[in-house]
Structure 1
């Protein structure tokens, strides 16, 4: 089961796992995109692919989509919590409702779907949960404060579960990609942010699946990203905040 499967990293996970012969449950809000993707994957790889449309910002939606899959006899043994979005701008000027939806999708939906999926995995004595966090989890993000905080939650939550369940056959991995070649920054209204070269989605997915196979608790794809991730451990926190603020400061008003 892949959330946010219709684009970006979620789409790359769908193609990579289909190529490995995995049957897929594709979850996103766009029914047209999901159904088109499901048909493509079935045609190209001969797998089973089922599209389940859901708005995971809604309370209970993630639990419900797992129940819908189970009712179809499609209880997943791999769950990839990829769906998420960010807001960019001064915290006080951003829509509170939008930021609360951001928390719901980035955090609550991850918790709900993980909680729904774990019992069957534990009964089987095996299973995998991949939660897509971000290098944003490694330090606070001025002007993207809610996004950074939600991804820090995902990283902490995932690593705690890694320790809780690894002896019971369930692998949990937090993926912390840096800037990736998706529409993320365009959608969030931060296309001008100084985030450097963007990594290919396939590179992120391959690093993630390799880390899962090795039983890691988290992975930061890319050597440059791993080096940058070490800076908060070396430099004073206020220095890091100033650097990040200079990268992400809105260049114009009217950010999302």
Structure 2
């Protein structure tokens, strides 16, 4: 089985592949809290959460991940309460997904990789709802795919192939959509490669391994493979069939 440091993969996935700052070059606009959906106390808390989240983004963009993480920690409880009060409100759902993802990147930036799995696990269903509600939104699809790959990596690192497999399968499904929409998108191609490499270790499907090996060889040749995928891609490329 290919061996790669999970901490290295996870930090690279959270920070380098699609960081919240990179994915949200324009800061996220937090939704207003309607008084009819939340209690008066919840409205006050939500408005404070909006301010904390906004300040967290500013700190994160300035490279102060520890300060950002503190602000996100303060914001998250009220955002969770808003989603509990209105679970069908996609503005709230999207806001919570963004806040959790931003917190994951902030924690990664401070070296606290132990927090990432729990944050990604909580964030994943909210991002799935966002992707389902906006299937043509490439940014949301990319973020969700990255989360799936990292959760698969976490499970595989713990020797839980059965747990990792569905994450990788779903990641490959969405990465294929992204590559189909933009064949030269390096992030999408690396997510597809990461998903296939993971799936080749959780599945006995020879076609998956062949595809992963062939794509590894191709991306190593054209220089598009990223740092997180490179060690595994180099190992996989050795099993790719020679070009005819």
> Considering the TM-score relative to the shorter chain, is it more than 0.5?
no
Q: More strand per residue: 1 or 2?
A: 1
TM-score range, shorter chain: 0.3 to 0.5
Q: TM-score, normalized by length of structure 2?
A: 0.35
Larger radius of gyration: 2
